[in-house]
Structure 1
Amino acid sequence: MTEAKPDWTGRTLELEVGAVAHGGHCVSRVEGRVVFVRHALPGELVVAEVTEDKGKGFCRADAVRVLRPSPDRVDAPCPASGPGGCGGCDWQHASPAVQRELKAAVVAEQLSRLAGLEWPVEVEALPGPSRWRTRVRFVAGRDGRPGLRAHRSHRVIPLEDCPITLEGAASAGLSRRKRPSTEIETTEDGTGRVHVAEVPSRGKLKQLSGGTAVERAAGRRWRLASDGFWQVHPAAADTLAGVVGEWAAASPGATVWDLYAGVGLFASVLAGQVGPQGRVLAMESGRRAVTDGRANLADLPQVHWECARVEDASASLAGQAEVVVLDPPRKGAGREVVKSIVEAQPERIVYVACDPAALARDVATLAEHGFHLRCLRAFDAFPMTHHVECVALLSR
């Protein structure tokens, strides 16, 4: 009979904090178990309270008291952050420069552990103010006051403001009470207009104001559903489009693919490179995104849209492509999609990734097929959180 593991939930531990790990926490070890500690920094000595223990080889804890602070620790600018507070941010207690160092360490560690690559990583800052978040989804608590949920919890932390969200979007979502569990999604677009939608606990999204956002990126004006996919940081879309264009370097008249195309940001860049005689296959599963993409790129007939899940569209991905650009969801592309890409025999693959672990797994799979990492850039597109955006160039 297997001996039951002890449940440490609620236990207080004095521990020394080790290296940063993927997910917004640092690693420590106590009595042979791994403890993932939030609200701490590497090298600190803290008192941590165990918040979750499912009986495995690890548990989760919050640093509730710092006995020996890191010189990199700063006062959190948001009063709702910290142990037991809002779960929206991970690194409020670290300076922006240190946050980027921590994210760089995570990207490098994932590439090393999952892809066997020792790769120097620098996370670059994006221009703009500290209030960078253009879209947020608040939720009403039991008393109807809106806020954000605590980390790994359904408990709502009521907020007066969200210091990383643009003022218009924050004010529109937090200014009125709602029925408990109602979600309020606000978007402040590139023109400064605020769009507000409501999602009841049971029911479909209801647009309360606005609905069609206007953005500018890659030298174009974009109109898209305000709740559709667009980079959340105001500078991210233009920055990523610039890197993708530089590394894709598609030839005039070539055939190229833009997988997980969204509304066609990268497809527009590729279309300019291949010209009227070329062909850009833009594949996206979201019907509204494809509709918006077709409208936005109506002046580029070389862009051919297909509304389909990339994972299910192997028949459409037959034939060769000089360049493949992909921007998959957080889980990554996976082996079947990689197989379809490899069979197209591209000269270059430009991979945009919002999760370093998924990127590292797909880089490892591509290496099995002879495609190797040539360049990598990482951007701090989500300050104060653990998230980081990467762009990778691979070739044979």
Structure 2
Amino acid sequence: MSWTNWSGSVVASAPVLRPKTEDELAAAVRAAAKVRATGAGHSFMPLCQSDELIVCLEDMAATLTVAPDRRTARAPAGWSLKRLTAALWEEGLALANQGDVNPQSLAGAMATGTHGTGRDLGNLATFARGFRLIGPDGAATWCDATTNPDLFQAQRLSLGLFGIATEIEVEVIPAFHLTERIEKKSWAEVRESYDSLVERHRHVEFWFFPHADDVILKTLEMTDPCDPPPSTTDMEETAFRRLLKIGAFAPPLVPVLQRLMMKTGFDGRRRGPAHTIFPSDRTIRFEEMEYEMPRATGMEALDEVVAWIRRRRLPVSFPFEYRVVAGDDIWMSPMNRGPVAAISMHQYAAMPWRDLFADAEEIFRAHGGRPHWAKRHTLSRDDVDSLYPMAERYRTVRRAADPQGKFLNAHLEALFS
């Protein structure tokens, strides 16, 4: 049986092993010539692709252990964010931030720099404080800021290159509740006021259909304790799915369909525990490219790519998603030069996307952007070196941790061998 990613565009012929114990995992890694780990398959790039062995740690026997000071917890790396945040909630704890979906594994989310939104909040890799790794010989190693520090610094955003993570020490905070508000605003108004919105709200983002003149604005704020919300999603998908199917059948209709979509009233509110409000159901399959721009150039880049789409009446069927993320010091993080504006470009999985993404990527790169590692991009080894000053040190640590390249695949070998 072949393995596929969430969107169906990445396929691998390797068997998928679901070990029950760390010993079983170690034996499998030791015996394999090549091995990659997978979580929920939410990477659009072929990060998990393998011809020999893929391992999934969802079924491994493991428990959550909270530190005595309640500032960190040691979590099973293969747990989904949904499972982890529910377990933390039972302990009166939470992650400080999450993205807008939660099926990804903790290890996968950290390994790719997955993020939410927030002026003062970094990507999920910034929450890591230590890792237990199964190396190519099956031996377990611990790394943190003082024990194997170079390995830790590289592993914080690892792309799965340094071993199979089985346990991650993660920073946590006291549990909190959120209020979510969804509303329709004019693009001109949001563009003018976005910086002030970012200052006023803990979380703010918007979705912008490129052929329409309004945006869907979403804000999240901390609130008083309350019950879980009745809905598990911020927006209902039925009408959007219907319009996407029409647009896939008749692409020239996409601009009209988007303007029709935005005639709908968007005015929603939810309240509840943070881990039930951050994520929403996303059941429509799509492909995605995301570029992290220097925050100062984000709006200019979005203006340019939307103008290009409108000028050519291109059938880009999904809205752009625009968020801000704090800077960090992680070697291979797209946020390590300072705060960024994250611009996500999606396309319905039933429609062509490669040429659209390639042309848009040129615009994003011209504005100083660097891609999300798990979203579609065409970086070469030379690109990696020019964008990341620590790339060769990262490779040096990789060679020391995995001399025979057991954790490489064709995609990663081209960039990091």
TM-score of the pair, normalised by structure 2: 0.28
Higher relative contact order at CA 8 Å, sep ≥6: structure 1 or structure 2? 2
Which protein has the larger Cα radius of gyration, Structure 1 or Structure 2? 1
TM-score of the pair, normalised by structure 1: 0.29
Compare the two structures and name the one with the higher strand fraction.
Answer: 1
Compare the two structures and name the one with the higher helix fraction.
Answer: 2
